[in-house]
């Protein structure tokens, strides 16, 4: 039987460069470009990376923030790449995250999402799933990001783009849309970046302590315990 042609089978310059520089995937170039254009990552930052496998973005972010910072990498798939000590990997679903884990490693200066649905071939379904992942990432960023924190997330272009951009414009002091040079021509993906989370857009994290414990405390203690 003849082999099916795979248009990605020949490594391009971005793939070759990523491998030569020790990153598991060419996607590192997308974050690099966003970082260079927006100055997203700084020394000692605490970073949350959603949809992190095989690990390029997290490894790059860990290098940028240095050992005084930290990176929490979350993905449905296992990350097998060699990771630095200040990077923690959690295998799980970003749509169903345990807020205790997120709180323990947070709050975050930067929330990243390169999450992408497994493409089904049905364009509208894939776009709707991408929007769902984008929305979940924004919710997490508003809940666990510090005031002034940054957000960068992938979205497949669709009619939902205007809603996604509006939500970021409302939550952050500035919003940029970036389609990095390394995005393949056939791909409809772009990144919406929010700079400076507004304090008014922050969402209270749900309390992780059992309710019985909370009931015994004063109202002020109950409110602050959820942060
Ligand atoms: C394009 S890859 C990410 C590449 C990564 N940024 C890197 O540089 O190595 C997209 C990832 O999103 C993950 N993903 C999709 N849905 C997810 C979900 N609900 N929770 C966590 N990860 C998810 C996939 O498992 C996949 O590994």
Three-state secondary structure readout of the chain: CCCCCCCCCCCCHHHHHHHHCCCCCCCHHHHHHHHHHHCCCCCCCEEEEECCCCCHHHHHHHHHHCCCCEEEEEECCCCCCCCCCCEEEEECCHHHCCHHHHHHHCCEEEEEECCCCCCCCCHHHHHHHHHHHHHHHHHHHHHHEEEEEEEEEEEECCCCHHHHHHHHHHHEEEEEEECCCCCCCCCCEEEEEEEEECHHHCCCCCCCCCHHHHHCCCHHHHHHHCC
Catalytic pick among 154, 166, 176, 181: 154
Q: Is 90 in the pocket of ligand 1 (CB under 6 A)?
A: no
Question: Cis ω on the peptide bond leading into residue 59 (within 30° of 0)?
Answer: no
Give the tens place of pLDDT for each residue, 72-83. 999 999 999 999
Q: Are strands 87-91 and 70-75 parallel, antiparallel or unpaired?
A: parallel
The residues spanned by each domain of the chain are 28-225
pLDDT digits (tens, 9 = 90+) for 85-143: 999 999 999 989 888 999 999 999 999 999 999 989 899 999 999 999 999 999 999 99
CATH code for the part of the protein at 28-225: 3.40.50.150
Q: Is residue 9 very low, low, confident or very high in pLDDT (cuts 50, 70, 90)?
A: low
Query: What pTM was estimated for this model as a whole?
Result: 0.89
Residue 132 Cβ contacting ligand 1 at under 6 Å: no
Residue linked to tokens 């630095």: 84
Is the pLDDT score of 2 beyond 70?
no
Q: How many CB atoms lie within 10 A of CB 152?
A: 27
Say if ligand 1 is within 6 A of residue 114 CB. yes
| Whole-angstrom distance, CA of residue 138 vs CA of residue 30 | 19
Rounded CA-CA distance 123/121 in Å is 6
Residue to mutate (ligand 1; options 31, 76, 126; most atoms within 8 A of CB)? 76
């Amino acid at each position: 039987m003849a082999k099916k042609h795979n248009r990605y089978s020949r490594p391009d310059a971005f793939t070759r460069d990523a491998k030569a520089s020790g990153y598991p995937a060419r996607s590192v170039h997308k974050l690099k470009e966003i970082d260079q254009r927006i100055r997203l990552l700084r020394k000692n930052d605490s970073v949350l990376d959603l949809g992190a496998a095989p690990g390029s973005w997290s490894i790059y972010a860990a290098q940028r923030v240095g050992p005084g910072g930290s990176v929490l990498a979350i993905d449905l798939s296992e990350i097998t790449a060699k990771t630095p000590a200040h990077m923690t990997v959690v295998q799980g679903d970003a749509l169903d995250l345990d807020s205790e884990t997120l709180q323990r490693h947070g709050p975050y200066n930067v929330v990243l999402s390169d999450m992408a649905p497994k493409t089904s071939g049905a364009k509208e379904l894939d776009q709707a799933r991408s929007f769902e992942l984008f929305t979940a990432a924004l919710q997490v960023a508003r809940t666990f990001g510090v005031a002034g924190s940054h957000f960068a997330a992938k979205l497949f272009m669709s009619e939902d783009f205007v809603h996604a951009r509006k939500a970021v414009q409302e939550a952050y002091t500035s919003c940029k849309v970036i389609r990095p040079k390394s995005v393949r021509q056939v791909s409809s993906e772009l990144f919406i970046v929010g700079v400076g989370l507004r304090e008014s857009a922050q969402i209270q994290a749900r309390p992780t302590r059992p309710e019985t414990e909370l009931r015994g405390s004063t109202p002020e203690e109950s409110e602050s315990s959820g942060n």
